[in-house]
Chains A and B, each alone.
Chain A
Amino acid sequence: MGRLLLHRLGGLVTTLLLSSVVIFGSLYLAPGSPENVLFGNRAPSAAARAAVRHQLHLDQPLPVRYWDWLTAVLHGDLGRSMVTGQSVAGRVGAGLGSTLLLVALSISLVVILGLGLGTAAALRPGRVDATANALTSLSVTVPPFVASTLLISVFAVKLGWFPASGVQSGLLGQLRGLVLPACALAVVSCGFLARVTRNALREQLDREHVQTAQVRGLPRRVVLRDHVFRNALPPIITAIGLLTSGLFASTLVVESAFAVPGIGQLTIQSVAQKDFPVVQAVALLLVAAFVVCNAVSDLVQALIDPRLRIVGRTT
């Protein structure tokens, strides 16, 4: 188990390092420059432009800038925003809480509804299965930005149950403001998870050992718990891991539609402004979220399935 953890950690560091090079390089290659943002619509004198470029270290070659950035990060300094001069950690930190809460809320909805719907479909063939099938087919075609519009017009504008925009202070206020965005995010993923769950359970239900257990007269509850669910879990957990990491990226759209003060707005703006340190931080955060989610899902699987605990010794 310890080895698996170490192995995963090494993978995370390598992935982050590689993606940081790619992100830094692609920002560098894209047209435009952060100092133009600062100068607005005014053409500055060559000297003024040079001074600002120097101050922002834009006058140095790419490898030097990357190295400076990397060493600073390794010392725990994410740098300063080129546009506002604020610390990157501060700018990212201001919105991170909301985004994390949004993803947590959303994945909880996905797990509860997706698992529930998938299980119902698997255990009740016929009308329930058909209904669930229809529902999931519909839900996987509703992208978050469409769901946002629908949810706002029904639950915020018509019924007034939830705020249409923004979040209030305090945990309760935050939660209330995040319910609709979380639903908008969850719709697509719910359908996906329900499908995966249904198929995984069906596959197990048809297995010989399950049928043997039923014939032996074990209670249905025990059969389902020990023989069906436990064996069906690996694909479901993999799906949840992938969905969670995908949710981080989808928050950009939903946060903008619901005016949630998360890191979505920051990401969009800083990319447009070529604010290198901020883009690096948020992009790497997304990459890290992806790697961590997958690592966690692997670890959980290893906990469930002892066969997976031995890394690198596949038979």
Chain B
Amino acid sequence: MMHGRTPRAALPLAALALLAGTAVTACGSSGGNAAKAAPSSNFNTAQVTTAPGRALSSLTWSGDYRAPYSEDPLKTADYPEETILGNVCQGVLQTGPDYTLDPAVAKAWKQPDARHLVLDLDPRAVFSDGHPVTADDVVYSLLRNQDPTVASNYADAYHDVSSVRATGAGQVTVTFNRDDYLFLRTLGTLGGSVVEKAFAVGSGQNFGNAGTGVVCSGPYTVASFDGTNAMVLKRNPRFWDPAKAGKAETVTFKFLADPSALANALSSGSLQGGFDLPSSTIGQLQKATNGKLYIGGEGSTTQNIDLIVARFTGGLADARVRQALSMAIDRKGIAQTLFSGAADPLYAVAGPGFWENSPARSDYAAAYSALQVQPDLANASQLVKAAGATGQQISIGYAAGVPTEVQLAQVLQQTGDAIGLKVKIIGLPDQQYGSLFIDPKARAAYDSFLTINYLEYPEAATMYSSYATKAGSQNFNGYTDPGVEASLLKAQGSADPRQRAMYVLQAQTVLDRDLPWIPIVQPRALLFQNSAVTGAPLTFSYMAGPWVAAVGAP
């Protein structure tokens, strides 16, 4: 459920053109003077969504940089799938625009103790083929995540689930093998989506293929999908909850890989909106007269861009070298130039995006402000010297197809070289870059690699657990620390957010010193919405909930 990569299949030419335009300013920023004025957030950050829409005949939206691979909600967790499929396949619960968990297939839920979660299903719920959603369907759907032949992308969230059982008519109980108050959030993502068992079993390996499709209970169904250029959803006529029904009759998602093509499509109205916009589109979209580019404030997404230490041998073996590199990075400069200001420096992997709206905000904020430091090349060089690493080579792998990563790698190279290291950067084709996250052999060749990471919902404990615990799905370097492990397990078992925050912050202190991941920047939410439509969320919640249902005519 945590996600390591967004390999954008952009054209090499387009990437080159972009690079030529911004690499120079990026270098300038390391000097600390060439920074452009950052666009400030242009809406109140307390606002989580644009005004809800009314009935509309058709809507066209950006489905992000490529078409979904499958309609099966569990198959691939990436922007296109998570943006679209939540509108077709409802979760047991649903994540609202303010990240609250709302009823969906389950009308109520409770955790009588730390090891049990009881879900009461809504008796009204029916699938798009008219069959009622039963406890059996829900049990089947959740357990698919643990089925190795399904190879769910959300399997790691089910690591501590020992059983999922129907415990009555319309009731399902999830049992954990350790205290767990974090799992619940998974039910509001595609990892908690409900599919019709009979249809899924009957379709076998074809389930989710464009020709076969899926049967779910969400507000929309897939009307057509050509596998490459467009996926059309139509309103599910059998949708069972009038309060959450879709406003638009049909929704067409188009997939544009080229950032300038995307900007043209939005500013000319051939697409009516899009999330997760590349920062190179900001200039053009700010000038667009047919709609508004919404730029979120600091912490408006849970996206975090980090340098992942691939192994604790070689150039980055000594913690002092990692600390020196982190100390030297000009995060502010990177945020302002490489991201046109639509990003903020990030000093902890789970930054403000993970706790801005948390009841424990003040605790997190206090700890975070202590981590905010200015780049310090002199002390960093000293630290490298002290570690005896002057002239030491370190390698950084990055996705050559993602313009931002290309530029970021170059800035990191300059930074490393400036403090006495010898940084080698290696641009990898998408496929090879992707295998760094899957194949230990593939990443063995590098000391570190870049990631554009995210979690669908703001929960710092889950983010840290993903890379700093033994069972973490993103623990690529085998990092382990008994204190961190214990704190994060305690956080998982804490129902009270402030108590949980206390444990998370204990772990964060150690992680800031050990730096298995080096945080760099946090992008801001970027949404473009045509004036002819309204209702899109302003938060990162579009990656989890059925957000399209609220979009309609103003």
Q: Which positions in A face B, CB cutoff 8 Å?
A: 30-33, 36-45, 47-49, 51-52, 55, 81, 83-87, 90-91, 94-95, 145, 149, 152, 156-157, 163-166, 252-253, 256-259, 261, 265-266, 268-269, 272-274
B453: nearest chain-A partner, CB-CB: A41
Tell me whether B484 is interfacial, beta carbon within 8 Å: no
Which residues of chain B from 4 to 24 have any CB-CB distance to chain A below 8 Å in the complex? Answer: 4-5, 7, 9, 11, 13-14, 17
Interface centre among A33, A52, A261, A269 (most CB of B within 10 A): A269
Q: Are A84 and B264 in contact, CB atoms less than 8 angstroms apart?
A: no
List of B residues within 8 angstroms of A252 by Cβ: 11
User: Which residues of chain B come closer than 8 Å to A266, judged between CB atoms?
Assistant: 228-229
**Cβ-closest 7 pairs across A and B:** A32-B431, A85-B209, A165-B265, A261-B229, A164-B264, A164-B268, A40-B76
**Contact A85 to B228, CB < 8 A, known contacts A36-B438, A40-B76:** no
Whether B264 lies near A157 (C-beta < 8 A) is yes
27 contacts between A and B (CB under 8 A): A31-B429, A31-B435, A32-B435, A36-B431, A36-B439, A38-B151, A40-B78, A41-B5, A41-B77, A41-B438, A42-B153, A42-B473, A45-B148, A52-B151, A84-B227, A85-B208, A94-B226, A145-B17, A163-B270, A164-B264, A165-B268, A166-B265, A253-B11, A256-B261, A257-B14, A258-B261, A259-B262
Inter-subunit contact A42/B438 (CB<8 Å): yes
A269 to B4, CA, bound (A): 20
Q: Is the interface of B mostly helix, strand, loop or mixed?
A: loop
Which listed residue, A39, A85, A95, A253, touches B13 by the CB 8 Å rule? A253
- Chain A residues whose CB sits within 8 angstroms of the CB of B114 once the complex forms: none
Q: Which of A37, A48, A91, A95 contacts B431 (CB 8 A)?
A: A37
Pick from B14, B267, B432, B438: contact of A31, CB under 8 Å: B432
Classify the interface of chain A: helix, strand, loop or mixed: helix
CB-CB contacts below 8 Å: B254-299 with A: 254-258, 260-262, 264-265, 267-268, 270-271
Within 8 A of A (CB), among B237-264: 254-258, 260-262, 264
Instruction: Check A259–B228 contact: CB distance below 8 A.
Output: no
* A259/B256 contact (C-beta < 8 A), A51-B149, A152-B264, A265-B228 known: yes
Nearest Cβ distance between residue B211 and chain A, in whole angstroms?
Answer: 6
Task: Report how far A32 CA is from B428 CA in the complex, Å.
Answer: 11
Among B13, B67, B258, chain A packs the most CB atoms within 10 A around the CB of B258
Q: How far is the CA of A86 from the CA of B110 in the complex (A)?
A: 42
Q: Give A43 to B257 CA distance when docked, in angstroms.
A: 26
The answer to whether A164 and B228 touch across the interface, beta carbons within 8 angstroms, is: no
Instruction: State in angstroms the CA–CA spacing of A37 and B88 once bound together.
Output: 22
Complex: how many Å from CA A112 to CA B129? 55
Query: Which residues of chain A have C-beta atoms less than 8 A from B152's C-beta?
Result: 42
The answer to whether B183 has its CB under 8 Å from any CB of chain A is: no
B191-243 interface with A by 8 A CB criterion: 205-206, 208-212, 226-230
CA–CA, A269 to B65, complex, Å?
10
Contact of B69 among A44, A52, A84, A87 (CB under 8 A): A84
CB distance from B390 to the nearest CB of A (A): 34
Partner of B228, one of A30, A49, A94: A94
B334 within 8 A of A: no
Using known A-B contacts A165-B271, A256-B11, determine if residue A86 contacts B257 with beta carbons closer than 8 Å.
no
Q: A86-B227, A268-B9 are in contact. Are A31 and B148 (CB under 8 A)?
A: no
A165 to chain B: which residues have CB within 8 Å? 256, 261, 264-265, 268, 270-271
Does B493 lie at the interface of the complex (its beta carbon under 8 Å from any beta carbon of A)? Answer: no
Any chain A CB within 8 A of the CB of B28? no
Bound Cα distance A38, B76 (Å):
7
Q: Chain B 49-81, CB within 8 Å of chain A: the 1/0 string?
A: 000000000000000001101100001111000
User: Is the beta-carbon distance between A48 and B438 smaller than 8 angstroms?
Assistant: no
Closest to A94 in B: B226
Which residues of chain A come closer than 8 Å to B268, judged between CB atoms? 156-157, 163-165
A85 in contact with B438 (CB, 8 Å): no
Write the residues of chain B forming the contact surface with A, with a CB cutoff of 8 angstroms: 3-5, 7, 9, 11, 13-14, 17, 66-67, 69-70, 75-78, 148-153, 155-156, 205-206, 208-212, 226-230, 254-258, 260-262, 264-265, 267-268, 270-271, 401, 429-432, 434-435, 437-439, 473
Question: How far is B437's CA from A11's CA once the two chains are assembled, in angstroms?
Answer: 45
**Closest-CB distance, A181 to chain B (whole angstroms):** 11
CB-CB < 8 A to A90: which residues of B?
Answer: 226-227
Verify A274–B431 contact, CB threshold 8 A.
yes
- Of chain A, the residue at the smallest CB distance from B208 is A85
- A164 and B265: CB pair below 8 A? yes
**Residue from the set A44, A81, A94 with the largest chain B CB neighbour count within 10 Å:** A44
The CA of A313 and the CA of B8, in the complex, are separated in Å by 54
Chain B residue contacts of A36, Cβ below 8 A:
431, 434-435, 438-439
Could you list 10 further interchain pairs (A-B, Cβ under 8 angstroms) beyond the known A39-B438, A90-B226, A152-B260?
A: A40-B153, A41-B3, A41-B77, A42-B77, A85-B211, A166-B265, A265-B255, A269-B9, A272-B9, A273-B431
Using Cβ atoms and an 8 Å threshold, which residues of chain A touch B265? 164-166, 259
Contacts of A87 in B (CB 8 A): 211
User: In the bound complex, what is the Cα–Cα distance between A273 and B429 (angstroms)?
Assistant: 11
On chain A, the residues within 8 Å of B205 by CB distance are: 55
- Please pick, from A30, A265, A274, the residue contacting B257 in the complex, using a CB distance under 8 A: A265
- The answer to whether residues A86 and B211 also contact, given A32-B432, A261-B228 and a CB cut-off of 8 A, is yes
Residues of A within 8 A of B226 (CB): 90-91, 94-95, 261
In the complex, A11 Cα to B515 Cα: how many Å? 61
- Verify A257–B258 contact, CB threshold 8 A: yes
A40→B77 contact, CB < 8 A: yes
CB-defined contacts of B211 to chain A, threshold 8 Å: 85-87
Tell me if B13 and A156 are in contact (CB < 8 A): no
> Within 8 Å CB of A164, what residues of B?
264-265, 267-268, 270
Inter-subunit contact A272/B271 (CB<8 Å): no
Report the minimal beta-carbon distance from A280 to chain B, rounded to whole angstroms: 16
A84 to B66, CA, bound (A): 12
